[in-house]
Amino acid sequence: MPDVNEDYALFLDFDGTLVDIVERPDAVAVDAALPDVLTRLQRRLGGALAIISGRPVDFLDGRLVPHVFDMAGLHGLEHRIAGRLSMCDPDEHPALRELVGRLGKIVADKEGILIEDKGCSVAIHWRLAPHEKDFALATAHAAVEALGPDYRVQHGKAVAEILPSAAGKGKVIERFLHESPYKGRRPIFVGDDLTDENGFKTVNAHGGLSVRIGAGDTIAKVRLGTPADLRHCLSTWAFEGILPFKGDDC
């Protein structure tokens, strides 16, 4: 068992960060060694490790079974902190639920556009149909205009997600930082996408360390190349006790 490090709180995005981006959201694959690495690192950090994702908590749990981690799903609409789980109820979003049914019909003749129903949010993917980007974006923004100010569009890599305005990775990281075992620690957040930029902003404001995976404009302080590079860094920290991200590598 490694020594406990109580200086840091580690927050990790999932898609494009811990795992590689895939063409279909249901085809994501988790490296076989990753759950054990995260568990060892979680212990080293005295429990202060959480996954911060746009995926639902149930989806993440299913990919990391039998390990259980603190996490925020659906950009913070769901979260588990120190084992206490708070879930989002889709029935509290009837207008959004009605919209999901309409979206399927709207994109029915657009081959390659995928609708991902997450219960309390819905994502429109065009990775398989890059020529339909403008159509997908227009559809998402028209839907939010119809839903009203309680909802917004979250842009990502070949995806536009319609979700409650209260959701945001920065907001939920802030919440974690006010609760044990995260309170009083220097936060580190690793992400790869536009959805992670407000998380970087929160972490930077707390004097923490923000890490961007891959290319693209960012306010993150450090950049790593690929999810594989990150997994190597995390393994180094977990097994050797060396803090990664001191430069643009481990």
Domain boundaries, the chain: 8-88+168-240, 90-164
Q: At residue 45, does pLDDT exceed 90?
A: yes
Q: At residue 46, does pLDDT exceed 80?
A: yes
**Distance from chain centroid for Cα 34:** 16
**Amino acid found at 91:** D
The third-level CATH classification (topology) of the domain covering 8-88+168-240 is: Rossmann fold (3.40.50)
**Tens digit of pLDDT for each residue in 1-36?**
446 678 999 999 999 999 999 888 888 999 999 999
Q: At residue 222, does pLDDT exceed 60?
A: yes
Distance between CA 75 and CA 54 in Å, rounded?
5
Active site residues: 13
Q: At residue 73, does pLDDT exceed 60?
A: yes
The reported pTM is 0.91
Asked if 153 contacts 161 with a C-beta cutoff of 8 angstroms, the reply is: yes
Please give, one letter per residue, the 3-state secondary structure of 37-101: HHHHHHHHCCCCEEEECCCCHHHHHHHHCCCCCEEEEHHHCEEEECCEEECCCHHHCHHHHHHHH
**Tens digit of pLDDT for each residue in 199-210?**
999 999 999 999
- What average pLDDT does this structure show over 105-112? 93
With tokens 């309170």, the residue in question is 183
- If residue 103 lies in a helix (H) or strand (E), which one and from where to where? helix 94-106
**Tens digit of pLDDT for each residue in 87-107?**
999 999 999 999 998 998 999
Tokens representing residue 53 in the block = 């994702």
Choice between 239 and 48, residue whose per-residue pLDDT is larger: 48
Please give the CATH number for the structural domain made up of 90-164: 3.30.70.1020
Distance between CA 60 and CA 71 in Å, rounded?
9
Choose among 75, 20, 60, 100: nearest CA to 194: 75
10 Å Cβ neighbour count for 233? 19
